[in-house]
Amino acid sequence: MVREQLMQLLSEREEEMIALRRHFHENPEISFEEKQTADTIAEFYAGKDVEVKRNVGNGYGIIVTIKGSKPGRTVALRADFDALPIEEATGLPFASKNPGVMHACGHDGHTAYLMILADCLIQLKDEWAGTVKIVHQNAEELGPGGAKSMVDSGELDDVDEIYGIHFYPSFEVGEIQYANGWAYAGCSEFKLKIQGNGGHGSMPHLSNDAIVAAASYVMNLQTIVSRRIDPFDMAVVTVGSFEGMGATNVIKDNLIIQGDARYMDIEVGKKIEEEMRKLARGLEESFGVTTEFEYHWDYPPVYNHPEQTEKAAKALQEKGVGNYLTNVVSAPPNNGAEDFGQYLLKIPGSFMNVGAKPDADEYFMNHNPKFDINEKALLVAAKAVADITLTALER
């Protein structure tokens, strides 16, 4: 039976998964600059009985098409491969060789497990029907991201379902968590430039103070969440940058405020943008300044389609638990953002979290300079996604 064969092959190639993960970890590249990473991925598939398309979308994205023995359903599997502009502090023997760049979010592991799973599916392609598209995606970490451009390329128009996973060091290897419906928050970035009229600190009446206007804006932003958004809807507004350096006796002429907004519903994101713009316009009347406001929609919320999520979870509970899994549990939505939501706007599917807690007593969350995953999670992810894939192909 193909499932047993596939599981056996994956087990036999666990060390290869780990070696690939370490190679990518040692040679990270930031978003939109992942040329060597893409070359390594493409070379892995060279000479195999598959179709490989490179430079899909707005960067170094790769789509590998594997055709089974007979026509059937088409299932896509996605892994991202970009790193972050972080100086690594793990002390690992395979730590980053590139100063200021680190795989601090597990994308090295995502790519490694999926490459070996893909190769095993290629080896067994005479045993299953349908098509599997392997989506190696660039630039998940930096808006506008790579996902939307890969969807817009048309290369996934024939896909019936799509799946992906994310490693988290906060829960144990062998556990998979999923949310049915809203799973990850959407994320938008904003930038407000305030132009006042600078002057001497001793004569404030002759100036329009940009800092006073900006301070008012920062405080009033929180009324959007507390007074303009339904309390049952998730919304967060953060000011992460307030650029107003100056001299002690100088009334500031201009400054820039930047931050982001998070939400679980696109309509909430629209409401946040609308209210932000109103507050910016209000500064002009209240403080006599002029404003320039930008609002960039980076990633939509990740909405896991209920039918696909329930069937995937059921497959894992029936086939994985007691075998390579200890638990499959429904979990609350994640306030983090993930551009996998771009795929789910068009293609039914689901995105799940895989436990990767290190064996050490202490762990560090994603985007931390000391972030690491338990490499035992690679095989768990490969087998889980294999079961999800075979189940989806059979439907």
Q: Where are the alpha helices (DSSP H) in 13-140?
A: 14-26, 35-45, 107-123
Is there a contact between 91 and 359 (Cβ–Cβ < 8 Å)?
no
Q: Which of 82, 160, 209, 372 is catalytic?
A: 82
> What is the phi-psi region of residue 184: left when phi exceeds 0, alpha when psi lies from -120 to 50, beta otherwise?
beta
Strands 349-355 and 161-168: parallel
Q: Which of 29, 80, 88, 140 is catalytic?
A: 140
Is there a contact between 75 and 393 (Cβ–Cβ < 8 Å)?
yes
The DSSP-derived string for 259-312 is: EEEEESSHHHHHHHHHHHHHHHHHHHHHHS-EEEEEEEEEE--EEE-HHHHHHH
To the query of whether residue 140 is one of the catalytic residues in this protein, the response is yes
Helix or strand or coil: residue 380? helix
CA distance 1 to 127: 8
Strands 131-137 and 74-80: parallel
Distance from first CA to last CA of the chain, Å, rounded? 17
To the query of whether residue 16 is one of the catalytic residues in this protein, the response is no
Q: Which residues are catalytic?
A: 82, 140
